Structure 1
Amino acid sequence: MNAAADSQQRLPTDITVHNQSKVLEIAFSDGAHFRIPFELMRVYSPSAEVKGHGPGQEVLQTGKRHVDIVGLEAVGNYAVQPTFSDGHDTGIFGWDYLYVLGSKQDELWQDYEKRLGEAGVQRDDPMPEPSAKSCGSH
């Protein structure tokens, strides 16, 4: 099966924002059903602010355990764009990306914990203030 055919079977059939439990519940046409924590979505946002503009430019997100989704807009027929309570609103989450977040949650959490440890920070630490170094000047 090729990726295009695979993606055709992964269209969402239901999306629910659960603010109290802080999860995005999403069901797909292939029968998959996920409950994706807002925090996981926020720390793995596909935005340039989080991913950077190339390898090695990722920005490790901290202090996002209690983030809420305060808005969720459809982007065409291929994605949603959440607005998080910390003001982040530039990540566009395509159906395939949400499927990956849902299906690989355990691996993604482990990777996140590993990166936190390597950086010597805790999950609930506040985000550091941007510095001149992070803007590309040396």
Structure 2
Amino acid sequence: MYIVTKLHYHQKSNILDIYFDDDKHFALSCEFLRTHSPSAEVQNHGAGVKLVLNKHNVSISKLEPVGHYAIRLCFDDAHNSGLYSWQYLRTLCVEQAQLWDKYLQRVQAHKESEHSVPIKFMP
């Protein structure tokens, strides 16, 4: 199990630096963190992950430690539910490229479906 030893938020770039006890360091954007929130709202209560859109400019307004095992990220779009456990953060860090690619594919599919028009046949 990995433990976060330091978090550093860069307000100008909206990047959160995450340092772990094995001397690994990662940087995640606020957009990535917001679109991959562990909250029930985003995780959609077991019905699959909800597609969160238009978070390009979201930023973190507050970091709230939760014991010695997690952090609550309060975003400036009023989203503040969901605890980012150290394990969840590590997963996001290690799998960032794959998770981001999958997210972008879902966004593209959503955009394509928005432009499709159902055809109605009249008798």
Tell me the equivalent position of 2:26: 34
SS at match of 1:120: helix
Segments ≥4 residues shifted beyond 3 Å: none
Match 1:108 to one of 93, 99, 103 = 99
Tell me the equivalent position of 1:60: 51
Whichever residue aligns with residue 116 of structure 1, its letter is V
Name stretches of at least 5 consecutive residues in structure 2 with no aligned partner: 113-123
Q: Does 1:46 align with 2:60?
A: no
- Flag the structure with larger Rg: 2
Question: For residues 1-138 of structure 1, what are the structure 2 equivalents within 5 Å?
Answer: 7=1, 10-56=2-48, 58-120=49-111
Name stretches of at least 5 consecutive residues in structure 1 with no aligned partner: 1-6, 122-138
After TM superposition, the score normalised by the length of structure 1 is 0.77
Distance, in Å, in 1 between the alignment partners of 2:46 and 2:10 is: 33
1:55, CA displacement in angstroms? 3.0
CA RMSD of aligned residues (A): 1.1
1:97-127: per-residue Cα shift (whole Å, max 9, x none)? 1111111111111000111122226xxxxxx
After TM superposition, the score normalised by the length of structure 2 is 0.86
Whichever residue aligns with residue 75 of structure 2, its letter is F
1:14-45: per-residue Cα shift (whole Å, max 9, x none)? 11111111111011011210001110000000
